[in-house]
Structure formats: C-alpha cells, structure tokens
Amino acid sequence: MRRVVMLVDNAVDCDSRVQKAARSAADAGWDVTLIGCAHVDAERRWRIGQAEVRVLPLSSARALPPVTAPAVVSHPGGGVSAVSGPGVGSVSASGRDAGPRDGSGLRGGSGLRARLVARGGLPLRAARLARRPVEHAQVRYWRARLRDGAWRRLEPGLWDYERAAGPVVDELRPDLIHAHDFRMLGVAARAVERARAAGRDTKLVWDAHEWLPGARPRRDNARWLPAHLGYVREYVGAADAVVTVSDTLADLLVRDHALPERPTVVLNAPVTATPDEDAPDLRERCGLPPDTPLLVYSGAMAAQRGVDTVVEALPLLPGVHLALVVADPAAPYVRQVVARAARLGVGDRVHVLPYVPHRQLVAFLATADVGLIPLHHWPNHEIALITKFFEYAHARLPIVVSDVRTMAETVRATGQGEVFRARDAADLARAVRAVLADPARYRAAYEGEDSPLPGWTWEAQAERLDTLYRRLLTPNR
C-alpha cells in the first residue's frame, strides 16, 4: 500500500476540505496520515475513517532546530532559489532563525515603538499606522538582498512548521506528500528534496486553497503578504502537480507561476453518499416552528464576510429569524454581531449555534428557508464557489448571495437564488423577500435532468484526486 502524507497548517477539526481529502484517499486504498500543525499543548491523535490524524504542537517546535534542507529547489524554467545558508535565514544552535524575530534589519522603528509602549503607548490603530513606514522599509531591504528568500527575515515563524512537521514526515517515508494551502508548501518541498537525496522518488501535490495575492493578510503588518508570496514562489516549482478549488483560480495559478500543466480542480463540495440519519435539526435547535422564516449563515465569522449586513437587514424583515452556525459562539466578533442585533431591536431573532460534523451539515441546514452568502468584495471572494455554497445547494436551500462575481453568475444561471449588492442591507432584504415569497421556484433548480448537484459532490471530486495520485505514482513504461 502506497503511503500518502497530508500536511495542513491548522488543527484539522474545523477544516472540512482536508478531512474529506484524507478520508476519501484512505477509502480508495492509500495509507494516509494527515498531519496538522497548531498551537496545542501536546500532540493529538485520532482517526478519520481509515486515515490517521496527528496534530503537532507548534509551541514546542521552537525548541528544535529545523530539519537541514538541500541548498536549492528548482523552479519552472530552470531557475533555482537558495533554501538555506549563511546570511540567508541561517539557523542558530538554539533552532531559531539567526535573524531578528521581528524581521527587522532596520531597528530604529522597533526602538521607537518600545519607547512609546514604555510611556503608555499609542492607541492600537495609530501605533499600527506609525510602524508601517518601517515595515515597508524592511520589505524593500530584505527583498533587495534575498529576493524571494526574504521570507526568512520578514516571516521567520514559517520555520516553526518545518520544525514541527519535518522530522515526522521523514520518519513516515511517504510516497506522496499532499500539502494543503500555502504555509505547508515549503515544508513539503524540503521533505521531498531530502527523500530524493536518500534515493526515494517522493511526489509532491500542492493544494492551493486560495489565491494568495488576493488574500486578506492574516496579520496587520506590511511584511505578511510579500513574505508569503516570496515563500510560495520559491517552492512552487517543487510540486509535481497542483490542485485547486476553482477553474478561475486554476487559470490564475498558471499565469502567476508559469505552471507546466493546468491544476486539477477539486471543488469544496460536500459528502453526499451516506447521509447521517442522526444529524441534528437546525430549526429545532433554534426553537422555531415550521412556519417561521429562518435564514442561515454557516461558516467563519469576520467583518469581510458580511454578516453585519444581514443583521442590519433584519429590522426590514419582520418575523424573520437568523441562525449563525459558527466555530466558536463565544468568539469576540460573534459577540459583537449579537450585540449589534440587540441594539437594533432584533436580538431575539438571532440564534448562534456551534458547528456540527461536516458529514451532518447538509442535513442540519435543510430545515432553514434561505442560505446566506453576504461577502464583501475582495479578490478571493470573487473567484470561487465556496464550501457553504455547495452545502446550501445540497440542503436544497435557495441562496441569497452578494454580487461577488463567480457565485453571483452561478446563481443567476441556475436560478437557485437571488443576488444583492454587497454591503447593502436594503437590497439584501429585497432579495430575501423575493425568495420567501416563492421558495419552490428557487428549489426547482435542484431537481430534474439539469440539476447541477450530481457534479457538486465530494465523491466526484475524490475520484479526480485519486486519479491524480495514481498518475503520479505509476512508473513510466
């Protein structure tokens, strides 16, 4: 049995794509170990079907030196980039990057910030704005010196994933490494180089979950995005194949990285073959009778995802309730949204519920009346059919989506919902009223020979992934 190691930069439990990929690969006969890296106190282990899951602690990783990597990684077109070496992110005996942890080659700004903090500091936003010129100078300085390798100074915390996962990957001796998202690409590339140096022809699949140039930076500093863009450019040439989530993103990746072949598109579709009869009932959890209109938003909560617009629309929708299905009902932003609903006089119509297992989610959502996708305009929001889009569709929910390009075009083409202007509460309310006035019209899009649902299943996507694995691991004849 050929061994597949999957890598992801989170704790696995809230990432349905990696869970589905690991389980379906194991079901197809691969020996699968899914390795997550997260800020946990100790290693965690469990199984998803026949796939083993190991979540490694990042905190203890900093006490260990990173695995020694080869000197170069090749790129499309024959270019190479330095991976390690004196003056290029070399590592001290303690295992930390030899450069300063704040990524600074210009220390004046750091000293100023320290003095401000000592004197009581500036308001947080003002302090962030004050440090931007220094951060931009750091980016220019290290990019000029190290080009794509500047991430070693601008974002040295990326080494933590190497320290945590690199030795474990080496011990497992995989035939194929499947790196989910961008942070694990370098970890996988270095592991592949070590394997090949030892005489093993390990293959690498990179699964690009988002378009990094269009991503909202995950930390509020000017270093984050250029550091990670350089990191991906350095290692993308090591991938034997690329997988991604949409046709649009596949085209962008070909353009950005001169890929020799177009990525395999694996949609974030739900598992449908074995519906879970024990799934809870969303409406019942909210304590609502069947005739009460119920909207649902399921997924991550952040300002750019537009839930504030939904709350602002509720006063325009008398008697309509909203269910928020979120990872952490007590998270600060969730509490902020609930408090805003209370100030608007609609707090009693907002219900906050925790996630359910992804194999239960479609059945859980099915008793709502409308599925909401109120995204703001942001590059990555424009280019994909996101996970909740498919989950709502398989729950046979009419979808009310903001006018982000790909999902708006799809909803208009299929007739499965209504489109509203992003961040426009009145227009969202108009779209919801239209759906509630004739829900059967929109649900009809999921029935009959023209239904898009058969192609929007994880089972169909898993076949593509299995075909790719087998192609990569079949010896040339």
Residue 207 belongs to domain with CATH number: 3.40.50.2000
d(CA 91, CA 62): 11
d(CA 381, CA 246): 12
d(CA 388, CA 111): 45
Q: Specify the pLDDT at position 59.
A: 76
Same domain, 388 and 420: yes
Same domain, 348 and 254: no
CB atoms within 10 A of CB 59: 13
Same domain, 254 and 292: no
pLDDT-wise least confident of 87-91, 239-243, 341-345, 470-474: 87-91
Same domain, 434 and 322: yes
Same domain, 224 and 296: no
Q: With 50 as the cut, is the pLDDT of residue 63 above it?
A: no
Same domain, 368 and 430: yes
pTM of the model: 0.81
Same domain, 11 and 45: yes
Structural contact between residues 245 and 267, judged by C-beta atoms closer than 8 angstroms: yes
d(CA 241, CA 308): 39
Structural contact between residues 208 and 182, judged by C-beta atoms closer than 8 angstroms: yes
Q: Specify the pLDDT at position 72.
A: 38
d(CA 154, CA 99): 9
Per-residue pLDDT tens over the stretch 20-59:
999 999 999 999 999 999 999 999 999 999 999 999 999 7
In a domain, 434, yes or no: yes
CB atoms within 10 A of CB 19: 22
Q: What are the structure tokens assigned to 468, written together?
A: 């790719």
Residue 119: CA count within 13 A, CB half-sphere? 8
In a domain, 346, yes or no: yes
Average pLDDT over residues 161-180: 98
Same domain, 260 and 288: no
Q: Specify the pLDDT at position 110.
A: 47
In a domain, 461, yes or no: no
Q: Specify the pLDDT at position 475.
A: 79
Same domain, 300 and 416: yes
CB atoms within 10 A of CB 198: 10
Q: What are the structure tokens assigned to 380, written together?
A: 């990555």
Q: Specify the pLDDT at position 380.
A: 87
- Domain ranges, residue 439: 282-455
- Angle at 380 (CA atoms; ends 415, 445), nearest 5 degrees: 10
In a domain, 206, yes or no: yes
In a domain, 130, yes or no: no
CB atoms within 10 A of CB 284: 10
Position 318, amino acid: P
In a domain, 104, yes or no: no
Structurally, the chain folds into a number of domains equal to 2
Per-residue pLDDT tens over the stretch 420-463:
999 999 999 999 999 999 999 999 999 999 999 999 999 999 99
Q: Check the CA dihedral 14-55-84-222 and report its sign.
A: positive
Per-residue pLDDT tens over the stretch 252-293:
999 999 999 999 999 999 998 665 568 899 999 999 999 999
**First and final C-alpha spacing in the chain:** 20
- Which of 210, 231, 265 terminates a domain? The answer is 265
Q: Specify the pLDDT at position 60.
A: 53
In a domain, 260, yes or no: yes
d(CA 12, CA 7): 10
